[in-house]
Amino acid sequence: MGTRCEIYVRDGISTIELWKHFDGYPEYMFEHFKSFAKFACKIYKNQEHRLTYADDVAALLIAFDYEYHKKLYSKECKKDPSLRFFMAPDIRPRGSLEDADYVYILDLTKQGSLVKWRLLCFDIHDFLPNEDTAEVIKPYYKGITQMTVNEFKNMVRKNTIPNVKPTKEETILVVEPKAALIFPSLYK
């Protein structure tokens, strides 16, 4: 069984909701996002402003995840074609899936000419289950707070940071666009 997670990519205007089925625990995800940040900088090396658009970053994250899995499993798939399932991207649009263990918020900001990504992780086992699914979810929840999972997610979707301490938080990308050095007036 996978460690599922939801990923919210936010730029202050839009929030794109993604889903990951396997390896959603923080020790893996923070490293995966750091690798993704390097990949994104290579792809958008002359268009760094795109690193601040939630839809562009979310689409690129899905592409990165596909390339990552393709590289990881290509040799094994030649030996055993039934493993081709693992070459598919594990990160995809969330849809109606709701049984995540962790929630990640990737906040994309621009401060002057700097592009900054801040990644927050929340272990949602510590929230109250939603009323309608309490029977199913309750055994998985360790602690109790004053917020249900749905209340928390609704705050995230509205581009607010819930008043809850993250399990882990880290700035994973800071880029100064090359164009900012040539055309500083565009980045004020």
Cα 161 from Cα 144, distance rounded (Å) = 19
User: 161-182: per-residue pLDDT in tens?
Assistant: 666 778 889 999 888 766 544 4
Show the domain range for 78. Answer: 5-187
Amino acid 75: pLDDT? 77
- The rounded mean pLDDT for the chain is 79
pLDDT tens per residue, range 22-51: 899 999 999 999 999 999 999 988 888 899
Q: Indicate the residue type of 161.
A: I
The pLDDT tens digits for 47-78 are 888 999 999 999 999 999 989 888 877 777 77
Distance CA 46, CA 59 (A): 18
Determine the pLDDT at residue 89. Answer: 79
**Under 8 Å CB-to-CB from 19, ≥6 apart: which residues?**
4, 5, 6, 7, 91, 92, 93, 94, 95, 97, 100
Distance of alpha carbon 141 from alpha carbon 159, whole angstroms: 25
| CA–CA dist 27, 60 (Å, integer) | 22
Number of folded domains that form the chain: 1
